[in-house]
Amino acid sequence: MAVYTEVAPEAAQALLNHLNLGTLQSLRGIQGGIENTNYFATTDQGEYVLTLFERLTAEQLPFYLRLVKHLAAAGIPVPEPQADAQGQLLHSLHGKPAAVVVKLAGQSQLAPQAIHCAQLGRVLAQMHLAARSFDMQQPNLRGLDWWNDTVPAVLPYLQAPQQELLRRELAFQNELAASASYRALPASAVHADLFRDNAMFEGERLSGVFDFYFAGVDTWLFDLCVAINDWCIDLATGELDTPRVNALLRAYQQVRPLTAEEQALYPALLRAAALRFWISRLWDCHLPRQASMLQPHDPTHFERVLRARIARPGAITAEHGFATP
């Protein structure tokens, strides 16, 4: 469930009045999420999502909300946060930080085909280009430093073969991050969690991408690899599905061709993206936060994905729209 704080219609209307968003017609708790309290709020002016933030603080939230506002202004299909007369995007309801964003039409496509992956690839590249002019800075809080801090905490819960893999991969990624070619990778604020459940489709058309609450400054290639590892795989085995990978990468490169460094480091960043979610799922599973509301996802899925990327590395080829350097 995802209504941790009950919101009365009168309280929602007071916030909607403050934002000049019209008269409430319906207010419905959303059961889907795991982190925040979310409601669909329909008014005579439109459909919105009202979120009360249960984990992130009022100090952390402006980065996420302003990033989404910036992307919306650049024409990227994201749920635009609604500002008050002073231009504030962050509000307060029942003592919790709150935001109201536009509701995206449609549903998530959990069994995507090439047609869906192509749209995602195009929007991802457009989003990367648009984020270059976003001027707030926040590192990816689930990046390499966090991996180095978290791996020692989860190792005791693992069997020897998993410990060995985790240690070896972390060492590999630390070495990679120190290399000149890694430092040459283009970066900006990125989504960093663009899984299938964070995008909406209306029929076959991508209506938008949302849930930017793991966003931070990281390489564009990492962001791309996070998406490929979720959108373009056989879910049972974790293996890459070539037609979907081709569709996503071709569409991405039609907007922004990968640099020579990105092409060379693609296999290593697919591994990094798998490692990131293996670690976070292990952490959620074995060290749940106090009074945690998270229902942990299965960590073994990303162990499988990581093993698959090591055994059969992906490669950028002419199939992906641009010849290798």
Ligand X SMILES: N[C@@H](CCOP(=O)(O)O)C(=O)O
Binding site for ligand ADP (CB under 6 A): 2, 30, 32-36, 38, 49, 79, 101, 103-104, 197, 200, 210-211, 213
Binding partner of 36, given ligand ADP, ligand X, none, CB within 5-8 angstroms per partner class:
ligand ADP
* DSSP states of 63-95: HHHHHHHHHHHTT----PBPP-TT----EEETT
Considering only 63, 277, 278, 283, the residue that binds ligand X (CB under 6 A) is 277
**Residue 240: which of 322, 312, 298, 297 has the closest Cα?**
312
Binding partner of 104, given ligand ADP, ligand X, none, CB within 5-8 angstroms per partner class:
ligand ADP
Q: Chain-centre distance of CA 301, in angstroms?
A: 17
CB of 15 to ligand ADP, least distance (A): 16
CB closer to ligand ADP out of 43 and 219: 43
CB of 119 to ligand X, least distance (A): 19
Q: Binding segment for ligand X among 169-177, 193-201, 248-256, 259-267 (CB under 6 A)?
A: 193-201
Binding partner of 193, given ligand ADP, ligand X, none, CB within 5-8 angstroms per partner class:
ligand X
Residue pointed to by tokens 């500002």:
83
Task: Report the first-to-last Cα separation within the chain, whole angstroms.
Answer: 49
Binding partner of 103, given ligand X, ligand ADP, none, CB within 5-8 angstroms per partner class:
ligand ADP
Q: How far apart are CA 83 and CA 134, in angstroms?
A: 18
* DSSP states of 242-262: HHHHHHHHHHHHHHSPPPHHH
Strand partners, 219: 187
Using CA atoms in the order 161, 166, 171, 174, what is the torsion angle rounded to 10 degrees?
A: 170
Considering only 22, 29, 35, 181, the residue that binds ligand X (CB under 6 A) is 35
Residues numbered 197-236 forming contacts with ligand X, rule: CB under 6 A: 198, 211
Rule CB under 6 A: which residues touch ligand X? 34-35, 193, 195, 198, 211, 277, 280-281, 297
